[in-house]
Amino acid sequence: MISALTANQKGALLMMGSMAGFTLNDGFIKLLGQNLPLSQILTLRGLLVSVLIFGLARALGALRLNLSRRDWGLVIGRSVAEAVTTYFFLSALMVMPIANITAILQMLPLTVTLAAVLVFGETVGWRRSLAIAAGFLGMLLIVRPGPNGFDSGTGYAIAAVACITARDLFTRRLSAEVPSMTVSLVAALSVTAFGALWGLGEDWQPISYDAGAMLLGASGMIFVGYLFSVMAMRVGDVSAVAPFRYTGLLWALLLGWAVFDSWPDALTLVGAAIVVAAGVFSLMREAPRRISELE
């Protein structure tokens, strides 16, 4: 049955599986955070994920460390942004419904496009400019700042979006010769080191059997998420596969309802729909431009 699918259909299924993996990882972390300090979770998960990525990279022959000084600088900058992102994202995850923070993260294709215009001088047509504006309007419907500004969880989520945007800008400047596995391994080690340093000021707790199982689950899910996302982008057309990243919001809605007994209100859902529609439109408009640049 799978062999009968087209390349784009396989890519779409892999991308949906990738988003499910990342979302399930978030769910495990949110449950673990009720009893364990975040630094302990980050360090232990990071060690497990680093081992998995290293093993896969060696098996595929995709580990290369003799990079240029420029590329090493970009890899390190990206890894620092990844570590700071993890802090902000997990801090938000502990105090926000999982669907709400996932909805805010759907802004990423739009913020990366806007940042590329501001930092690299890339050109954006009026249609994508309107999509970016609509996306920010949708985000305001999600966060709805009050007279005193954003609450702490929303502030953490927005800071995470800013850091991921910076991370992706570093990624855009990497040479094509730099293997993605090398980048991912350095990022995983950086997050692990960040968690260990953070843990110097916290008291770690004993790991129960349930907590150990959830740590293994979180490590496995984030590894599956990464692996499937790489496979998805290599199987189908970018324009056909990339929009399925937004299924992460559907997984988050289902997980929040089934596990955490939470469901966003109507305005949040409307805002999320606007953000997703704007992001999908922007991705569809960007794909032909990138293809023409490669030809």
pLDDT at 110: 86
Q: Give percent of the chain above pLDDT 90.
A: 41
Considering only 85-89, 95-99, 113-117, 229-233, which range has the smallest mean pLDDT? 229-233
- Mean pLDDT of all residues in the chain? 85
pLDDT at 215: 94
Distance of CA 172 to the CA centre of its chain: 16
pLDDT above 60 (res 293): no
Considering only 46-55, 191-200, 238-247, which range has the smallest mean pLDDT? 238-247
Q: What string of H, E and C letters represents the secondary structure of the chain?
A: CHHHCCHHHHHHHHHHHHHHHHHHHHHHHHHHCCCCCHHHHHHHHHHHHHHHHHHHHHHHCCCCCCCCHHHHHHHHHHHHHHHHHHHHHHHHHHHCCHHHHHHHHCCHHHHHHHHHHHHHCCCCCHHHHHHHHHHHHHHHHHHCCECCECCHHHHHHHHHHHHHHHHHHHHHHCCCCCCHHHHHHHHHHHHHHHHHHHHHHCCCCCCCHHHHHHHHHHHHHHHHHHHHHHHHHHHCCHHHHHHHHHHHHHHHHHHHHHHCCCCCCHHHHHHHHHHHHHHHHHHHHHHHHHHHHHC
Nearest to 19 by CA among 256, 165, 229: 229
pLDDT tens digits, one per residue of 233-261: 667 676 677 788 888 999 999 999 999 99
Distance in angstroms (rounded) separating the CA atoms of residues 183 and 50: 11
Residue 18 near residue 222, CB atoms below 8 Å? no
Q: What is the number of alpha carbons within 13 Å of residue 68 lying toward its C-beta?
A: 9
> Measured between alpha carbons, how far is residue 161 from residues 109, 125, 202, 253 in Å?
10, 23, 26, 19
pLDDT at 281: 82
pLDDT at 291: 43
pLDDT above 80 (res 11): yes
Grade residue 46 by pLDDT with cuts at 50, 70 and 90.
very high
288 Cβ contact partners less than 8 Å away, ≥ 6 residues apart: 239
Grade residue 147 by pLDDT with cuts at 50, 70 and 90.
low
